[in-house]
Amino acid sequence: MSSETGSHGTGSDENVPEDENEKLPGEREPQGHGEVGVPDEDPFADPGLPPHEHRVQDIDERAAKRSERTVAMLFTVSMLATVGFIASYVAFPIDKIVYIWPLGHVSALNLSLGLTLGLALFCIGAGAVHWARTLMSDVEIADERHPIEAEPEVRQKVLADFRQGAKESQLGRRKLVRHTMFGALTLVPLSGVVLLRDLGPLPEDKMRHTAWKKGKLLINENTDEPLKPDDIVVGSLAFAKPEGLDQHDHDFNVEIAKAALMLVRIEPDDIKDKRTLDWSHEGILAYSKICTHVGCPVSLYEQQTHHVLCPCHQSTFDLSDGARVLFGPAGHPLPQLKISVNKDGYLEAQGDFAEPVGPAFWERG
C-alpha cells in the first residue's frame, strides 16, 4: 500500500498568502473607487482530501487473499468461456435452431457464441474492477495544475509514479491474479481468430449456376406476376425472379439472391454494344442485379445515361454498353441473361447466366 499522503493536495495552505495585502494568483486589482475586487477571504475554502480510510483488504491479509481468489476465479471463468466459445463454434451446425423462453426460436450457434463471448469479456472486466477496488492502492493523490510543457524532472516523476503504480497494483506480488489475467487476455482474442474460418472455404462453382433455366418465366418481384414486354417501358428499371422458387425450400434465400435480375428497356439505336441485342428482346436487356465487386444489389438507375449505380461503393455500370464498369471497384461487367418471349407473350429465360454472378473472382479467367 502506498505511503503517500495528500501532501500535494489542494487542501494544503501553501497557496494562501501570509500577508493579507498579497494577492492570490489571478486576483484582480480593484478597478477604482467603489469597485469591488476579489474578497480577501475565499468564501469557498478548499476542504482538502478527506482522511484516508483503510479497506479491510489493506489491514487483513486473509481478506486480501479472498479478493485475490475472487479475481482469479473471474479470470478463470473468462478463460473457460473463451474455450466454450471455440467449442460452440465447432460443435453447433449453423442451421441448428433451439427454443429458448422468452426469446423463442433462435440460432443455437449465435446464442452460444454471444453468451460465451459476453461472459468472457464480462469476467475480464469484472475481475479488473474487483482487483482495482480491493487490492490496488486506493490512496487519493491530488496533483497541482501545471504548465502543459513537461520539465525533465516532471518526466522523471511520471516514470517514478508509473513504477510506484505498478508496484501498488500488486501485479508482481499477486502471482495468481497476474497469471490468470494474462491467461484470460491471451485466450480471449482466440474468439476472433476462430471466426476467420468464415472467410472460407471459397464457394467454388456455387455462383456459376443459378435457378435460371431455358423456358423459366420472368416473374415480377413486386407483383409475383409473369412479365410481358409491355410491362418494361423505356426509362424504367424492373426486377424479376425465376418462376417456380418455393419459399419453403431450404435454400430459397440463397437461390433467390443469386438469381436476382434487373430489366431495362433501351431504344435499340441507343445500345452501344450491339452484341447484347442478340440476348435481348426489342431492346429489353436483362442483367444480374448482384454487383461484381462484393455482391451488393445494384439498383440506382439513371435513365438518361443508362448508368446503374451500386450503393455500396459506387461502382457504376453502363447498361447500354454490356453493363461495362465505368467507375468504382467492381472488376467485371454484370452478367447478362439471354431472354425472349414465349408463345403466350411472356418474357422467359433462354438459359442460365453465361458467367458466374457476383464477385466470383476465383472462377473467372
Nearest residue to 284 (alpha-carbon basis) of 325, 244, 333, 341 = 341
Q: How far is the CB of 78 from ligand FES (least distance, A)?
A: 38
Helix ranges, the chain (H): 56-59, 61-91, 108-134, 152-168, 175-187, 190-195, 252-258
Q: Which DSSP helix (H) or strand (E) runs through 302?
A: strand 300-302
Is the sign of the CA dihedral 281, 283, 284, 286 positive or negative?
Answer: positive
Contact 291, 310 (CB under 8 A): yes
214 backbone φψ class: left, alpha, beta (φ>0; ψ -120 to 50)? beta
Please write down the HEC assignment for all residues of 90-145: HHCCCCCEEEECCCEEEEHHHHHHHHHHHHHHHHHHHHHHHHHHHCCCCCCCCCCC
The residue (of 216 and 293) whose beta carbon lies closer to ligand FES is 293
Range in contact with ligand FES (rule: CB under 6 A) among 20-28, 100-108, 124-132, 292-300: 292-300
The yes or no reply on residue 291 touching ligand FES (CB under 6 A) is yes
Size of the site for ligand FES (CB under 6 A): 12
The yes or no reply on residue 357 touching ligand FES (CB under 6 A) is no
The residue (of 92 and 239) whose beta carbon lies closer to ligand FES is 239
Range in contact with ligand FES (rule: CB under 6 A) among 195-203, 276-284, 310-318, 346-354: 310-318
Contact 315, 325 (CB under 8 A): yes
The yes or no reply on residue 229 touching ligand FES (CB under 6 A) is no
The yes or no reply on residue 296 touching ligand FES (CB under 6 A) is yes
Q: How far is the CB of 331 from ligand FES (least distance, A)?
A: 10
What does 27-48 look like in DSSP terms, one character per residue? PPPP-STT---S-SS-SS----
Interface residue with ligand FES among 312, 340, 341, 346 (CB under 6 A) is: 312
Site string for ligand FES, 231-270 (x = CB under 6 A): ----------------------------------------
The yes or no reply on residue 203 touching ligand FES (CB under 6 A) is no
Q: Which DSSP helix (H) or strand (E) runs through 340?
A: strand 339-341
Distance in angstroms (rounded) separating the CA atoms of residues 239 and 262? 4
Q: How far is the CB of 230 from ligand FES (least distance, A)?
A: 31
Q: How far is the CB of 332 from ligand FES (least distance, A)?
A: 11
Interface residue with ligand FES among 170, 220, 315, 320 (CB under 6 A) is: 315
Total residues belonging to the chain: 365
The residue (of 283 and 356) whose beta carbon lies closer to ligand FES is 356
Residue 355, helix vs strand vs coil: coil
The residue (of 240 and 334) whose beta carbon lies closer to ligand FES is 334
Interface residue with ligand FES among 114, 203, 229, 329 (CB under 6 A) is: 329
The yes or no reply on residue 328 touching ligand FES (CB under 6 A) is yes
**Which residues, in sequence order, are bridge partners of residue 97?**
107
Nearest residue to 299 (alpha-carbon basis) of 325, 317, 279, 285 = 317
Interface residue with ligand FES among 86, 257, 294, 326 (CB under 6 A) is: 294
The yes or no reply on residue 310 touching ligand FES (CB under 6 A) is yes
Is the sign of the CA dihedral 269, 271, 274, 278 positive or negative?
Answer: negative
Q: How far is the CB of 306 from ligand FES (least distance, A)?
A: 18
Distance in angstroms (rounded) separating the CA atoms of residues 264 and 354? 19
The yes or no reply on residue 289 touching ligand FES (CB under 6 A) is no
Interface residue with ligand FES among 313, 331, 361, 362 (CB under 6 A) is: 313
The yes or no reply on residue 297 touching ligand FES (CB under 6 A) is no
Q: Is 258 exposed, middle or buried (0-12, 13-18, 19+ CB in 10 A)?
A: buried
Residues 146-165 interacting with ligand FES (rule: CB under 6 A) = none
Residues that bind ligand FES (CB under 6 A): 291, 293-296, 310, 312-313, 315, 328-330
